[in-house]
Structure 1
Amino acid sequence: MKSYKVVIWKLSINRSAKKPTYLVRWSVDGEPFHESHKTKALADRFRAKLLRAADKGEPFDTVTGLPDSLRGGKAALSFLELALKYIDTRWAEASAKQRDSMTDALATVLPALVKQVRGRPAPADLRRALRSYVLPPPRRERERPEEIASAVKWIEKASLPVVELQEITRVHDLIDALTRKLDGKPAATQTYRRRRAVVFNALEYAVELETLHSNPLSRVRRKRGKRAVQEVDRRVVVNPRQARELLTALTYVGGYERASGRRLRAFFGCLYYAAMRPGEALGLRLSDCTLPEKGWGRIDLAETRPTAGKAWTDSGEAHDRRGLKQRADGEVRIVPIPPPLVRMLQDHAKEFGTAEDGRLFSSERGNVIAASSYSRAWKQARALAFPPEQVASVLAARPYDLRHAGVSQWLNSGVPAPEVAARAGHSVDVLLKIYAKCIDGQEQEMNDRILKGLGEEDTQD
């Protein structure tokens, strides 16, 4: 509702806090509102905006307490409304993991961009309301428990207008929220960067809507450590003998009758011998494989089934169904596979068959194998294949480390980087950055060259 019954009072000082703050107080149709500012100048500026709007005869909203137009005559779109509009435009084309990231980032900053309104809900209830009921379009019509309905009503009333982000103090509040977890502890740098990218894009959308003149995040530079190149720790990389021992150990996991480990042996073989990502292996169909009786075979990768969570997929399944990572829809990656993997896939298809949709790897019920299931089998295989000191180490601690081992083995065998990158699904630049520390076999050659340049000879036996 809109109202012209607006009363704006003089500034007051809140001395109850450690550092006094300045309050701008006004009412709309008898409903009181107030804004807290750290300095008198900021409070004066905001109060002046309210007075100008009232003098011009602009109607004030009875929910937000703000005039219809503010700064340049643009509508006082709240940050919550912007978040909903932004998600609505991106949802259909976004992957399940992108949907998860969008709702996570926006649910993190929305509680920080609010007015001081009584009845603020508990942080956990507010986040649950945003993540599970308000932000995801398919979930907005779900029946809401009482505490969720109360939290939604509060955020709708408290959410600040987007134009308030033209105040630099508001931008700092936003960034502070991005750097913290729900418990107040610092978030990881990678988490901060991911969330910041989402919020930056949402504010770019606000610029497109002409709600903002420019993106306020561009005005603030806050260091969060160097951008880490996620190099592979060479300590996690198994050698070929260790890889074979792990794959053999899987045949003993779960016993002969349950065959839980044997069912996964070829799956893990794909991660090592073909350097496939787990999601790519989960989506592999028998029709994607060329498996000759002798010699090398081939896999034509076209689909991936990454774990995303039922809340974010269109199908309601835990695994999304997407094309290959960083490739256009329908693009295929061809990976030649060595005879050991050819035999593994042949044996697997003969013993376990395929799922109804032709996938090679599935649970006993034909479903996509859960990450928790293959991770549990992997942990048991490590305990069987490794001595205690290696079990306690980071060596092949995660199934994904088999992919690292496979790529490292190709590079150390002398396969040119462009060919390795093509098979692994990387760019050459990213490949060399990630696996720089895993390329062995050249240290002695480089040492000999340096000695030769110094005019010395290696006298060691």
Structure 2
Amino acid sequence: MSTEEEPRPGRRGTPGSQGRTRNVRRPWKIGKAKSKTRPHMVRWVVAGEVCTVTFATFALADGFRSDLIQAMTRGEEFDVATGLPTSMLKVATARTWFEFCKAYVGVRWDGAAAKTRDSITDSLATVTLAMVEDGRDRPSHQALRRAFLWAVTPANEGADVPDEFTTGLRWLQERSLLLKALAEPHVIRQVEKRLTVTLTGKRVATDTYNRRRRGLNTAVVYAVELGELSDNPLKAAGRTHEARQGEVDPRVVITHAQARDLTALSYVGSWGRGRGRRLVAFFATLYYAGLRPAECVALRENDCYLPDAGWGRLTLVQTLPVTSKRWTDDGERHERRGLKQRPLKAARIVPIPPSLVTILKAHIEEFDTAEDGRLFRNERGGILGASTYSRAWEEARQLAFTPAQLESPLAGRPYDLRHAALSTWLNAGVSPADVAKRAGNSVEVLLKRYAGCLDGQEDVINRRIERTLEKEEDE
């Protein structure tokens, strides 16, 4: 079965080929097709017949092949007529936007990280507000969004609908636009506009817009590959968000002197329980080692080499990102994951300066570690939550910064300490390749996002320019 001319996979056309089967063979490695526009080919066998689908890019082919393998691993039945597993067949036969979203989330769910599930459903829920009809009795944006998120969660399939979601779900089922409506210019413009705002109409941050658009684009590309849409309408629509994409605002970057003022945390919260003091080392690690908060939360004592003198090092092997309980398999808010954008069990080694070695040793001596060896925990010994360290950070800013600095975006979030670390290393003359290696980024991402100037460096730069100009005048 070949679909080089017909993008919908599995059009067999063999007389009598119908029904479903588990007689499936694992797909071959991605091959080369004769088509110049769709040169990447996925081939697999269903009921003794070879199925072939071609794609425009290797990434699309690899994603489709991965979905097939996951369906085989789950033991799904495959449709003999189309060659598709049951879950993917639901996507291919969906007609309304809402039906498509339910089927698409079902395909993407298994094996996806909790953060990925959150991102996918957030993107689709946001677009859904523009993909349902208006009407006098239309539920609020909030009601529609909550009903949508409940309905697309695979665990809720077949469950009784809670009363609070009944009205919103009925509207989604009866008033959802057709999936093909995305191809209409006025509809895709409304979709693009919805991606740029919150439920209350306020403009979202650039990163939020980009994340939502990526999530929508992935779903739309999937619909195109399955033949539900003839082409991707997002290409023609263009981007509507005007802010610069992906760049760190230099105004958020803290200086080394300001970082030392983290000692103000010693006065935050109850002194007896040490809420502020126990976070001094946490924030210092974000700054001196350039860690992401989720990496720092997962840091254990045996991940640390803390010598009596000189530089130490951290060996990072896992993260504990926080998300909603609805997106994790075990119902917990933190999900144990490997390092971001790295193979499972991969490690990243980060050298740390003597000052941080001293801070970490003092922290361990005063507060010990959690039962599993984690350095940082909440006051009850559990996993350190984002809300806990974010509140402490805001209180610390109140103590450490001047009124003018408080009004500015300077170090507005704990994550900005990572921005400061990477900017400091770059401004110190460390090569982008070495900085990227320590930070766990690609060089491309590093140069795009983390090359912000340190606060207070403008005078230094101006003096350098002034000296150069004076030298040229003397000559």
TM > 0.5 between the two? yes
Aligned to 2:327: 312
| Cα distance per residue 1:239-268 (max 9 Å; x no partner) | 32332232x222233354211111111111
| Cα distance per residue 1:338-384 (max 9 Å; x no partner) | 11211222222222222222211111322111222112222333333
The counterpart of 1:275, out of the listed 290, 302, 325, is 290
1:105–1:196 CA contact under 8 A, matched in 2: yes
- The 3 A distance-change label for structure 1 pair 456 and 266 is same
2:397–2:406 CA contact under 8 A, matched in 1: yes
The counterpart of 1:191, out of the listed 208, 215, 218, is 208
Aligned to 2:225: 208
Q: How far off its partner does 1:90 sit?
A: 1.2
Q: How far off its partner does 1:156 sit?
A: 1.5
- Please give the secondary structure, in 1, of the residue aligned with 2:349: strand
The percent identity for this pair of structures is 48
The counterpart of 1:107, out of the listed 103, 125, 130, is 125
Q: How far off its partner does 1:75 sit?
A: 5.0
| Cα distance per residue 1:57-82 (max 9 Å; x no partner) | xxxxxxxxxxxxxxxxx956221121
Amino acid aligned to 2:383:
V
Q: How far off its partner does 1:189 sit?
A: 4.4
Superposed, which structure 2 residues align to 1:268-307 within 5 Å?
268-307=283-322
Aligned to 2:355: 340
Q: How far off its partner does 1:282 sit?
A: 0.3
- Please give the secondary structure, in 1, of the residue aligned with 2:342: coil
- The 3 A distance-change label for structure 1 pair 231 and 177 is closer
Aligned to 1:401: 416
The counterpart of 1:152, out of the listed 156, 169, 180, is 169
- The 3 A distance-change label for structure 1 pair 256 and 239 is same
Which stretch of structure 1 is more off in the superposition, 187-196 or 101-110?
A: 187-196
1:111–1:155 CA contact under 8 A, matched in 2: no
- The 3 A distance-change label for structure 1 pair 153 and 267 is same
Does residue 92 in structure 1 map to residue 110 in structure 2?
yes
Larger Rg belongs to? 1
Which stretch of structure 1 is more off in the superposition, 107-116 or 329-338?
A: 107-116
Aligned to 2:12: none
User: Normalising by the residue count of structure 1, what TM-score does the alignment of the two structures yield?
Assistant: 0.74
| Cα distance per residue 1:281-329 (max 9 Å; x no partner) | 1011111111112221110111122222222222322223222223232
- Please give the secondary structure, in 1, of the residue aligned with 2:384: coil
Taking the aligned partners of 1:180 and 1:405, their CA distance within structure 2 comes to 29
Aligned to 1:30: none
Taking the aligned partners of 2:444 and 2:218, their CA distance within structure 1 comes to 26
Aligned to 1:126: 144
| Cα distance per residue 1:104-159 (max 9 Å; x no partner) | 2212222433457885333322211012x111222445543334123223321222
Q: How far off its partner does 1:186 sit?
A: 4.7
Taking the aligned partners of 2:242 and 2:408, their CA distance within structure 1 comes to 27
- The 3 A distance-change label for structure 1 pair 231 and 172 is closer
Taking the aligned partners of 1:386 and 1:183, their CA distance within structure 2 comes to 32
Taking the aligned partners of 1:230 and 1:278, their CA distance within structure 2 comes to 19
Does residue 381 in structure 1 map to residue 381 in structure 2?
no
* Alignment root-mean-square deviation, CA: 2.8
Aligned to 2:235: 218
User: Normalising by the residue count of structure 2, what TM-score does the alignment of the two structures yield?
Assistant: 0.72
Amino acid aligned to 1:400:
Y
Aligned to 2:426: 411
Aligned to 1:172: 189
Aligned to 2:27: none
Taking the aligned partners of 2:256 and 2:207, their CA distance within structure 1 comes to 32
- Please give the secondary structure, in 1, of the residue aligned with 2:107: helix
Aligned to 1:67: none
Aligned to 2:153: 136
- The 3 A distance-change label for structure 1 pair 330 and 450 is farther
2:104–2:219 CA contact under 8 A, matched in 1: yes
Taking the aligned partners of 1:97 and 1:324, their CA distance within structure 2 comes to 13
Q: How far off its partner does 1:87 sit?
A: 0.8
1:284–1:360 CA contact under 8 A, matched in 2: yes
Q: How far off its partner does 1:274 sit?
A: 0.7
The counterpart of 1:181, out of the listed 177, 198, 202, is 198
Aligned to 1:240: 256
Does residue 364 in structure 1 map to residue 347 in structure 2?
no
Taking the aligned partners of 1:185 and 1:390, their CA distance within structure 2 comes to 25
